[in-house]
Amino acid sequence: MARTAASETGTAERILDVAERLVQVRGFNGFSYADVSSELGISKASLHYHFAGKAELGEALIRRYAGRFVDALLAIDSQEADAPAKLQAYADIYADVLRDRRMCLCGMLAAEYETLPEPMRDAIVGFFDANEDWLAGVVEQGREEGSLQVDGPVKDEAQTIVSGLEGALLVARPYGDVARFEAAATRLLKSLAAAAPSA
């Protein structure tokens, strides 16, 4: 019985792995259950057993992706001391996605937002809200420690960082140029630290 449950969990994870890659490369509307079943060598009925429909699959993708992102942010908090280092580590997450010739899952889904089911829309907004909340905390830390110059609300700076990195990722993609993204990310982050008081 335990072996069957483990097998089913393994199949669900493999489905999510393939679907995630397809979304990050083609977009949510650019793949079908037939694409996933063909790649995994399983029936569409098996897909529907694990995920009743594509909307349910999409929600599961966002939940899993958001969970991994939260884990990555917790790791940054535990490994990096000052705010600029945390922001750089955050930008590196995006660069690593581009190195793998993919896009941020929720960034891709945001581009298709109007065509997605309501639960997926809510989950996408939740993903960006969580990122902005974390970034706002980092920006506030930087303001308090004097490593970042912040003139307005920290939430506004957090929104700017997310928007800037997502946009830089999108524009760098057709060039296949990680250095292009990294240069844009560096300029964005330096703009926060540029007027910070010297030690």
Domains of the chain: 55-193 (1.10.357.10)
Per-residue pLDDT of the chain (199 residues; tens, 9 = 90+): 444 544 667 999 999 999 999 999 999 999 999 999 999 999 999 999 999 999 999 999 999 999 999 999 999 999 988 999 999 999 999 999 999 999 999 999 999 999 999 999 999 999 999 999 999 999 999 999 999 999 899 999 999 999 999 999 999 999 999 999 999 999 999 999 855 444 4
User: What is the chain written as a DSSP string?
Assistant: -HHHHHHHHHHHHHHHHHHHHHHHHH-GGG--HHHHHHHHT--HHHHHHHSSSHHHHHHHHHHHHHHHHHHHHHHHHHH--SHHHHHHHHHHHHHHHHHTT---HHHHHHHTGGGS-HHHHHHHHHHHHHHHHHHHHHHHHHHHHTSS---S-HHHHHHHHHHHHHHHHHHHGGGT-HHHHHHHHHHHHHHHHTTPPP-
